[in-house]
């Protein structure tokens, strides 16, 4: 009897050993789960949801994120899903707009605007081949680079203890963050095999144990959490407002550009090849469809998680079954509150120490995309001005103070929006033969 042949985790298709796949899948779950639940927590506070409804919003976001990941990994139809090794989660890019809409209109209006935004994403995906002439590798490289740079403050905030933490910036937080970073760096660059590929998880586990020894972890939430919970459709209601719909439509276009950048990074950095047009189109359409479903169940807009893209690039673990296992774990977290409660106590400083190198990898992937296009005068102008305006705007508080609220929300909170618009405009207008 022949021995069963298992696929390598560095191969896209095939079934790897479960003992090898499980820790690599857990690595992705741990890396994304805090980022996935945070937008729901923020929005719950803005809209004044009760504690029980906050839990429902968190669970719905996790459930839809897992389902969205499965659709991307294993496309059910030819035009729905990318087939690329990515992890989906609640989009941070939408958070500023969600806060503004939530404070003004409430949850039902947010979900109504999200429903409309899903159709906009589908249109972007359907017309991707025409739009690809505008969103060239130079533009997407600039977007990826900007995304990486924009994530640095998040990593540093996490390393310092997390925004709003009473011990923010403490020596203990920084010591634990640096300890975690050292562990990740050691296993990533000084070991081989499964230890190298699971370096992020090993760093998080070591940081978790250190935090436990320091008394920084509480298990009260696990005991209080229920065993099963499912939010029925339209639980939060749904309303439609034209202002909210227009704002959300613009953000879904921007969100699609971010997804394009992450798809490009995943294919280039993880698979060592360019992304295919059908992968890009199907992935954007799939995200639009899941966003429509998402709005019915009370979840938040989804997007590819850049930190998980970074893990794929860093580890070269591209097996879809591995990431599919992670997606199943995320779905379970969305259905079993005790499961998610087990994952969420990881201190922010540990997550920051584990992911800062991942965010750096994302930025460098963007640079690689740009370099492939050549660093001539024209290209450096496109990249330099785009990044300068995008990053510069978010570093100067109230620089759009005299603008309308919708303009401040859309253009003054995300560097990706301005960077993308600038890159597209300059790429279209600057002469191709510029020295």
User: Quick one: tokens of 320?
Assistant: 């879809």
What pLDDT is recorded for position 176?
93
- pLDDT given for residue 342 in this prediction: 63
Residue 312's closest CA among 366, 361, 368, 255? 361
Instruction: For residue 401, name the pLDDT band (cuts at 50, 70, 90).
Output: confident
235-267 per-position pLDDT tens digit: 888 999 888 888 888 778 877 877 887 888 888
Among 101, 82, 423, which residue's Cα sits nearest to residue 283? 82
Query: Which range among 209-218, 280-289, 410-419 has the greatest average pLDDT?
Result: 280-289
Please give the Cα distance from 148 to 144 (Å, whole number).
6
Residue 225 has pLDDT above 70, yes or no: no
> What pLDDT sits at residue 435?
61
Torsion of CA 230, 328, 91, 242, to 10 degrees: -40
pLDDT digits (tens, 9 = 90+) for 354-373: 878 877 877 887 888 888 88
Per-chain mean pLDDT for the chain:
84
Paired tokens of 403: 């603008």
Chain center to CA of 87: 8
Q: pLDDT at residue 191 above 80? A: yes
Query: What pLDDT, on a 0 to 100 scale, did the predictor assign at position 88?
Result: 93
pLDDT attached to residue 181: 92
DSSP 189-255: HS--HHHHHTHHHHHHHHHHHHHHHTT----HHHHHS-S---PPTTTT-----HHHHHHHHHHHHHH
For the residues 132-152, what does the mean pLDDT come to?
A: 82
- Tell me the CA end-to-end span of the chain in Å, nearest whole number: 66
pLDDT at residue 221 tops 70: no
Decide if 12 contacts 319 (C-beta within 8 A).
Answer: yes
pLDDT given for residue 326 in this prediction = 93
Select the more confidently predicted residue: 401 or 118: 118
Q: Answer yes or no: is pLDDT of 211 > 70.
A: yes
Phi and psi torsions of 259, nearest 5°: -65, -40
What pLDDT band is residue 197 in, cutting at 50, 70 and 90? low
Q: pLDDT tens for residues 279-316?
A: 999 999 999 999 999 899 888 898 888 778 888 887 88
Number of H helices, E strands in the chain: 19, 2
Distances (CA, A) of 151 to 280, 300, 305, 343, 352: 23, 20, 11, 22, 11
Instruction: Supply the pLDDT for residue 328.
Output: 94
Predicted pLDDT at 333: 84
Can you give the pLDDT at residue 1?
A: 41
Q: Is the pLDDT of residue 35 over 80?
A: no
- Report the percent of the chain where pLDDT is more than 70: 92
For 73-106, what is each residue's pLDDT tens digit?
999 877 788 899 999 988 876 776 787 788 778 8
Instruction: Say what the pTM is.
Output: 0.74
Q: Which residues contact 129 (CB under 8 A, 6 or more apart)?
A: 277, 281
């Amino acid at each position: 009897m022949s021995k069963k042949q298992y696929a390598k985790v560095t191969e896209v298709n095939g079934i790897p050993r479960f003992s090898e796949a499980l820790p690599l899948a857990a690595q992705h779950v741990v890396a994304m789960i805090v980022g996935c639940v945070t937008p729901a927590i923020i929005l719950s506070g803005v809209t004044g949801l009760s504690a029980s409804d906050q839990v429902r919003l968190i669970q719905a976001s996790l459930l839809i994120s897992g389902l969205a990941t499965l659709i991307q990994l294993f496309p059910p139809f030819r035009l729905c899903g990318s087939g690329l090794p990515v992890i989906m989660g609640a989009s941070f890019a939408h958070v500023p707009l969600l806060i503004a809409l939530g404070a003004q209109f409430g949850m039902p209006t947010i979900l109504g605007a999200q429903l409309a935004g899903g159709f906009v994403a589908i249109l972007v995906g359907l017309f991707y081949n025409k739009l690809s002439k505008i969103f060239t590798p130079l533009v997407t490289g600039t977007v990826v680079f900007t995304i990486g740079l924009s994530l640095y403050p998040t990593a540093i905030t996490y390393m310092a203890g997390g925004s709003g933490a009473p011990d923010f910036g403490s020596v203990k937080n920084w010591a634990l963050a640096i300890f975690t970073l050292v562990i990740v760096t050691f296993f990533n660059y000084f070991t081989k095999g499964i230890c190298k590929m699971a370096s992020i998880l090993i760093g998080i586990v070591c940081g978790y144990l250190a935090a436990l020894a320091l008394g920084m972890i509480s298990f009260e939430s696990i005991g209080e959490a229920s065993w099963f919970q499912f939010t029925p459709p339209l639980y939060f209601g749904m309303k439609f407002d034209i202002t909210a719909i227009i704002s959300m439509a613009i953000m879904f276009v921007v969100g699609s550009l971010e997804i394009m950048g992450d798809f490009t990074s995943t294919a280039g950095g993880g698979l060592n090849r360019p992304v295919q047009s059908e992968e890009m189109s199907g992935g954007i359409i799939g995200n639009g469809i899941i966003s429509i479903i998402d709005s019915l169940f009370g979840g938040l807009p989804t997007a590819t998680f850049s930190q998980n893209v970074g893990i794929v690039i860093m580890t070269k673990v591209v097996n879809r079954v591995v990431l599919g296992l992670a997606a199943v774990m995320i779905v379970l977290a969305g259905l079993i509150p005790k499961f998610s409660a087990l994952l969420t106590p990881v201190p922010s400083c540990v997550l920051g120490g584990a992911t800062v190198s991942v965010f750096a990898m994302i930025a460098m992937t963007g640079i690689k995309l740009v370099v492939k296009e050549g660093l001539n005068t024209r290209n450096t102008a496109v990249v330099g001005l785009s990044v300068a305006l995008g990053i510069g705007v978010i570093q100067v508080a109230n620089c759009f103070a005299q603008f309308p609220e919708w303009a401040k929300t859309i253009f003054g909170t995300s560097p990706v929006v301005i960077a993308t618009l600038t890159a597209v405009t300059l790429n279209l207008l600057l002469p191709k033969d510029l020295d």
